Chain A
Amino acid sequence: MTGMAKNSTLPGSSTPRKLVDGSLIFLIALGVAGAIGVWFLKGPDVFWQILGHEVVFAAALMPKIVAGVLIASALPFLISRDRITAAIGPESGWRGLAIAAAAGAIIPGGPSVTYPLALGLMAAGADLGAGIAIVSGWVLLGLNRTLIWELSFLPADIVALRFVLCLPFPILLGLATRKLWKDFAP
């Protein structure tokens, strides 16, 4: 596992990355099922409208994806593996998970920021538990979304209650992952 930045595995890849694998087939099957459903239940017009919209959106997303992947690929070279491993590696305990969760909650940006970051950090020495804590910190406590979106729709006391109740979970989920998937090797 050490020196992963030097060998041929891609950052954070959990499985050998074949271009066509189960996950792509799954996505395509789901898409085809959805497409058939829309075509017959909503009509061809809606089908083409959605297809056009999503294709344009995905295309517009591409430069962002490439930039995110570049960052994820560069991260393992930028920060020393020892420091990452000490901070959020497998032996970092709940403090490491707290650091990871806080990073996920504080770093602004959507999925094309947080996932490459988690991926890059996992390639640079963070363990699976820390990766789960980063993503969980972002989805449950992400300050950007909570402050901008959630507060504009829901009453402040409900938002605060949800935030406080969710506070321990990214750490707990990271701990549970470390316990349950101890043998997970990236």
Chain B
Amino acid sequence: MMLDQPEPQTVAPPEHFISIKGLCKSFGNAVLYDNFDLDLPRNQLVSVFGPNGCGKSTLINMISGLTPFDSGEILIHDKPIRRARIGYVFQNYREAMLPWLSAYDNIAYPLRVRGMPEHECRDRVATLLNTFNINLDLKRYPYSFSGGQQQLISILRALVAEPEVLFLDEPFSALDFETTLFVRDKLQEIFLTTQIPMFMVVHNLEEAVFLADTILLLSKRPTHLVEMVSFDAPRPRTLDTLSSRPFVEVSRHCLDIFRQEMRK
């Protein structure tokens, strides 16, 4: 395994990779989160799904430290956010890459800002590419790649600094169907190889269920957790999984809950 666990494993590992207590967040007079609690079991891939405007993006941004919150506590592997090493994949790869840097320099950027020497950066990137069988000419600029390749490059950039949690904000929403399948497969491969827990916001139910161990279904505002649905189909999941009984049942269950929430 290429990416080391960041914490020594001799002591009992934290039970949860994300743990939220009493989170409150308002925008002006609109209360988004009021005393929100959440514990996510370790080493899981968790997806978040809910109606528009329920604050999915705000949630992922608060947990990853991009958006401040009013009160409450968020811990990643039992540590405060700023002490945790996180990777973040943005929804719009075009606006999250640095287009003046080559693909290689983009991927190596998180290492460079930490002051890692150049030869070490090169080794790290090379190992990363080898691990996931990725064959791209990284001397080229990001915009010269296809959408799927660009999103893949931004996933690699998020992984290069060996994060202990990977956040993904609607990683497929800017991709067409064919590319979504490709990036989704790669993401699953990454999850299986690295065992990095992932927290992913999605905007479509199939994507919410397909890769997830746990699906979080959120309500309308003020947001609370309606249900945490487990999905334990074996991995790697393939296109056949999409038509398997457990997948269809879990999807239908999620859809029912979503509909009830919409009617409220």
A and B are interacting partners: no
